Amino acid sequence: MSYILNNPGLVWQLTQEHIVMIAVTLAIAVVLALPIALLIHQVRWLTVPVMGILSTLYTVPSLALIILLVPLFGLNARSVIVAMVLYTQVILVRHISVGLHSIPPAILEAAKGMGMNLWQRWWQVQVPLMLPIFLAGLRLSAIVAIAIATIGAKFGAGGLGTLLFDGIAQAGRYDKIWAGSLAVGSLALLVNTALLALEWAARRD
């Protein structure tokens, strides 16, 4: 804790780097997961092979996956972000798919009968109904991404993991190790709490 108090500027800079990586990852991951979930929702036989591939990617150790991506994207944040996007796909696609399946067909038929077009049914009916389940998936994805981003500091991605790896490298600087651990844990707790609050709010609407 003393290291954080004595170096607030550095800790805040690393926190910002961490947050940027998470935000970019989640934005890309959602953009990719949404059409995949819509596809397997419409073409049901694709569910097993698609989810099987995504689940297999999720079982690959994050360190090994980042190492495999380094020759393609370089020793930097890009490799770490691509790894995080791949890891979060199985979570997001599954939650979006479950959210879509949870909507009773009668509601969609009623909306269609009211004259709503495809876009109106999606935005005014499907999105609000599936939103709580989607936010639950987004929350889990964010926590996974925060953890992987911490490891990403080993590959030049920056972020709060820098404190952990610097502390280990510098003959056991436990003040840095504790500072990094507390900062990452606090960030994960804040993100989880914020998204959980949004999830609860969506369920009440």
Q: With a cut of 90, say whether residue 172 has pLDDT above it.
A: no
- Give the rounded distance of the alpha carbon of 4 from its chain centre: 26
Position 94 scores a pLDDT of 96
pLDDT in tens, 51-87: 999 999 999 988 899 999 999 998 889 999 999 999 9
Which residues 6+ apart lie within 8 Å of 35 measured at CB? none
Question: How many domains does the chain fold into?
Answer: 1
pLDDT in tens, 22-50: 999 999 999 999 999 999 998 999 999 99
pLDDT interval class at 198 (50, 70, 90): very high
- Give the rounded distance of the alpha carbon of 135 from its chain centre: 11
Domain that holds residue 169: 2-204
Tokens 């691509």 label which residue?
A: 82
Q: With a cut of 80, say whether residue 193 has pLDDT above it.
A: yes
Q: With a cut of 90, say whether residue 170 has pLDDT above it.
A: no
**Cα separation, 163 vs 181, whole angstroms:** 8
Which residue from 134, 139, 157, 135 is spatially nearest to 62, judged by alpha carbons?
157
Using alpha carbons, list the distances in angstroms from residue 1 to 11, 167, 176: 11, 14, 9
The DSSP code for 105 is H
Tokens 């999105």 label which residue?
A: 127
Q: b vs e for 50-78, b when ≥16 Cβ sit within 10 Å of the residue's Cβ?
A: bbeebeeebeeebeebbeebbeebeeebb
pLDDT in tens, 89-140: 999 999 999 999 988 888 888 888 888 887 888 888 888 899 999 999 999 9
Q: What is the pTM of this model?
A: 0.90
CATH assignment of the domain containing 66: 1.10.3720.10
Lookup: tokens for 53 = 């591939």
Position 1 scores a pLDDT of 66
